[in-house]
C-alpha cells in the first residue's frame, strides 16, 4: 500500500517506479509501454465531475494522436464521480486505452485516478483497476 505525504493511500503493484509530472504522481510498470497509474488531486473541486470531464475533453482531445472517446459517464464512487475513457496512439505507435476517474471526497478535496494500458490488454487489466479504486483512501480533512 502506497501512503502519500499528502495523506491519501492506494494499492500499487510491487516494483513500479514513481515519478511526478507537475502535481500528478505516476506509477509505471517496468519496461516498455506497459501499465501506468496516475493520481492527481485538488483542493478546489468542480461541482460536477461529468461536466468537468466534458470541458477538459474539449480542450485536450487534440493532445492525443488518433484520439477516440469511449465514454464520459457518472460512476458511483465517493461523493460524486465520473469516468472519462478514451483510446489513442502513442509516440511509439502503440494503441493505448485510458480511463481517468475524477471524484469528489469532500467539499474541498477531489482526486483523479488515471489508468492506462495497451488497448490489446485493456480487458485483462480491468480487475487491477478495480483493485486500485477499491483500495484508494483519501486524505482525512
Tens of pLDDT, residue by residue over 9-46, are 999 988 899 999 988 999 999 876 689 999 999 999 99
Q: Which fold has domain 2-135?
A: Protein Transport Mog1p; Chain A (3.40.1000)
Helix or strand holding residue 25 (H, E) = strand 24-28
- For residue 140, is pLDDT > 90? no
The pLDDT value given to residue 141: 62
The pLDDT value given to residue 26: 96
- For residue 58, is pLDDT > 80? yes
Closest-CA residue to 85 (of 106, 74, 70, 73): 70
Closest-CA residue to 83 (of 93, 92, 70, 96): 70
DSSP 71-82: EEEE--SSSEEE
Q: Which residues pair with 26 in a beta bridge?
A: 19, 38
Q: What is the mean pLDDT of the chain?
A: 95
DSSP three-state, residue 41? strand
Q: Are 102 and 70 in contact (CB under 8 A)?
A: no
The pLDDT value given to residue 89: 97
Query: Domain segments of the chain: what residues?
Result: 2-135
- pLDDT (average), residues 80-105: 97
CB-based burial, 123-140: b 16+ in 10 Å, e otherwise = eebeeebeebbeebebee
The pLDDT value given to residue 36: 96
Q: State the CB neighbour count (10 A cutoff) for residue 118.
A: 17
Closest-CA residue to 39 (of 18, 13, 69): 18
Amino acid at each position: 500500500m502506497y501512503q502519500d505525504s499528502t495523506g491519501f493511500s492506494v494499492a500499487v503493484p510491487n516494483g513500479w517506479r514513481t515519478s511526478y509530472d507537475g502535481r500528478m504522481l505516476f506509477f509505471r510498470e517496468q519496461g516498455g509501454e506497459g501499465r501506468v497509474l496516475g493520481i492527481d488531486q485538488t483542493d478546489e473541486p468542480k461541482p460536477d465531475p461529468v461536466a468537468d470531464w466534458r470541458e477538459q475533453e474539449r480542450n485536450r482531445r487534440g493532445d492525443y494522436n488518433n484520439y477516440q472517446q469511449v465514454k464520459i459517464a457518472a460512476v458511483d464512487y465517493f461523493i460524486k464521480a465520473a469516468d472519462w475513457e478514451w483510446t489513442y496512439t502513442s509516440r511509439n505507435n502503440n494503441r493505448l486505452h485510458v480511463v481517468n476517474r475524477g471524484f469528489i471526497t469532500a467539499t474541498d478535496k477531489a482526486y483523479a485516478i488515471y489508468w492506462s494500458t495497451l488497448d490489446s490488454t485493456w480487458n485483462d487489466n480491468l480487475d487491477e483497476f478495480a483493485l486500485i479504486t477499491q483500495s484508494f483512501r483519501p486524505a482525512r480533512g
